[in-house]
Amino acid sequence: MGHSVENSTEGQKPQTKELWKVFWILLVITAVEFVIAFQISSDSDFGKWLKISLFILLTFVKSFYIVGNFMHLRHEVKSMIWTIVIPVVFVVWLLAALVYFEGGYIGEVR
């Protein structure tokens, strides 16, 4: 957050072009998700899993923009970035492990 410390920022012109660009990216991705939801049929197994994978992929693209640009994490120092990202990677790992090793078992016993 280097520039928040400086005093020379007072009376500066707004630097909002980048932020509005991110807004349009998020909006377009959401619109694409709607198109996918209604244009790809889920009746075949292929279509169903294609849809689910695309949705999850696009969700991660959106969260990258929100966390990176809106929450400014992209511009923090490296140790800060990893402090936040590594625990989240562990959550994804937990989820993958649950689905892969435990998912079938839970389906059987409940």
Q: Does 28 bind other proteins (CB under 8 A)?
A: no
Contact, 77 vs 85, CB < 8 A?
Answer: no
With CB under 8 A as the contact rule, the residue among 28, 32, 89, 98 that binds other proteins is 98
67 near other proteins, judged by CB under 8 A:
yes
Crossing angle for the helix pair 17-39 and 45-65, to the nearest 10 degrees: 170
Place of tokens 């998700």: 33
Measure the CA dihedral 62/67/70/75, to 10°: -130
Under DSSP, the state recorded for 41 is -
Phi/psi for 6 (5° steps) reads -70, 155
Q: What is the closest distance, in whole angstroms, from the C-beta atom of residue 49 to other proteins in the complex?
A: 11
Residues that bind other proteins (CB under 8 A): 1-5, 7, 9-12, 14-16, 19-20, 22-23, 26-27, 30, 33-34, 37-38, 41-43, 51-52, 55-56, 58-59, 62-63, 66-67, 69-72, 76-77, 79-80, 83-84, 87-88, 91, 94-95, 98-99, 103, 106-107, 110
